[in-house]
């Protein structure tokens, strides 16, 4: 995949050094980059190192995000442990989270974005400040709260965007956000891929992703594959042709201890991209299962083992 190698080369040759990093050693950073992947007859899974062993994790993580879960135990059911380093007992305790929980990052924001409570608070304040005895006020507040779901009302952004594609394809609002400023300080790792948007043009479906932080060697290959897969899935359930995945990266970086691994990939020639086939019987985005995706004609270079992961 030439685009991926071009990005590695750009970071190594034009990037700027940062000597420290919150998540580990220093980095070489290149601020701002865009890659475009056509979806006509191939799937953008990198070939300069094998991700055959990670294909199950790619599928499982995406389905986990779409389920709205932040519990790594749900990933463990499929034998996937990608998120374990970020949900240790110490991290969860430090952030006041239940064991094995990541907090409100991707899935919970996609599926259960919390509505503002300002209106409810104002109504309660009006009742408290109004005329009447305390018993009547308490009963009125109880009546108000009885119409409110436990934890407050939420927005299913995924369902809304799919409905928008189906009913109003010319819309420019087909957007899903994982970045909720109210929750950023309550989680150990803030969302890296923060917002994505669909667009429909001439019967084709496009997907744009904006990523604030991009660990180029470890995270980006997964991000490319998962969002390309999401584009295929959504296109199938809305009956459109998947055309292009556009990946906008803000803080693209290679950690100092990853540089030699990056150079190894630059020495390898990209191979033809594989194909991914979906189960054509699935017509609901939340009904996909692990077995509904088939990776074909994937013949990558051997794996590169030992790439450090910054926690």
Q: pLDDT tens digits for 184-228?
A: 999 999 999 999 999 999 999 999 999 999 999 999 999 999 999
State the Cα–Cα distance between residues 311 and 309, nearest whole angstrom.
6
Question: Cβ(142)–Cβ(123) under 8 Å?
Answer: no
Task: Tell me how long the chain is.
Answer: 311
Of 301, 298, 279, nearest in space to 290 by CA: 279
The phi and psi torsions of 206 (rounded to 5 degrees) equal -120, 150
Q: Does 208 appear as a known binding residue? A: no
Helix (H) or strand (E) holding 211: strand 204-215
Q: Percent of the chain beyond pLDDT 70? A: 96
Strand 204-215 and strand 241-255: pairing? parallel
Tokens of 60: 């499982």
253 is in an annotated binding site: yes
Choose, from 192, 207, 237, 243, the residue flagged as catalytic.
Answer: 192
Label residue 121 by pLDDT band (50, 70, 90).
low
Annotated binding-site residue? 177 = no
192 a catalytic residue: yes
Going from the N-terminus, what domains does the chain have, and what CATH number goes with each?
2-112+156-296 (3.30.572.10), 116-152 (no CATH)
Average pLDDT over residues 13-30: 87
| Each residue's pLDDT tens digit, 72-94 | 999 999 999 999 999 999 999 99
Annotated binding residue at 310? yes
Answer positive or negative: Cα dihedral of 43, 167, 154, 115: positive
């Amino acid at each position: 995949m030439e685009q991926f190698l071009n990005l590695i080369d750009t970071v190594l040759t034009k990037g700027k050094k940062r000597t420290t990093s919150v998540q580990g050693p220093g980095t070489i950073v290149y601020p701002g980059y865009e890659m475009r992947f056509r979806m006509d007859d191939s799937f953008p899974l990198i070939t300069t190192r094998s991700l055959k062993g990670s294909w199950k994790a790619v599928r499982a993580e995406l389905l986990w995000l779409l389920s709205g879960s932040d519990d790594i135990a749900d990933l463990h059911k499929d034998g996937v442990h990608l998120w374990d380093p970020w949900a240790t007992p110490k991290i969860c305790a430090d952030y006041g989270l239940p064991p094995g929980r990541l907090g409100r990052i991707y899935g919970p924001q996609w599926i259960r974005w919390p509505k503002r409570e300002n209106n409810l608070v104002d109504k309660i304040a009006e009742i408290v400040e109004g005329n009447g005895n305390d018993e009547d006020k308490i009963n009125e507040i109880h009546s108000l709260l009885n119409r409110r779901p436990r934890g407050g009302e939420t927005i299913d952004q995924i369902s809304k965007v799919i409905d928008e594609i189906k009913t109003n394809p010319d819309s420019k609002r087909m957007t899903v956000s994982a970045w909720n400023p109210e929750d950023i300080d309550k989680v150990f790792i803030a969302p890296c891929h923060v917002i994505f948007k669909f667009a429909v043009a001439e019967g084709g479906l496009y997907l744009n992703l904006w990523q604030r932080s991009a660990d180029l060697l470890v995270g980006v290959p997964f991000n490319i594959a998962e969002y390309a897969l999401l584009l295929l899935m959504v296109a199938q359930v809305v009956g459109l042709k998947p055309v292009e995945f556009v990946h906008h990266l803000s803080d693209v970086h290679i950690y100092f201890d990853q540089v030699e691994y990056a150079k190894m990939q630059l020495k390898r020639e990209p191979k033809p991209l594989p194909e991914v086939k979906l189960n054509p019987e699935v017509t609901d985005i939340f009904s996909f299962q692990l077995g509904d995706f088939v990776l074909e004609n994937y013949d990558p270079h051997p794996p590169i083992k030992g790439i450090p992961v910054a926690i």
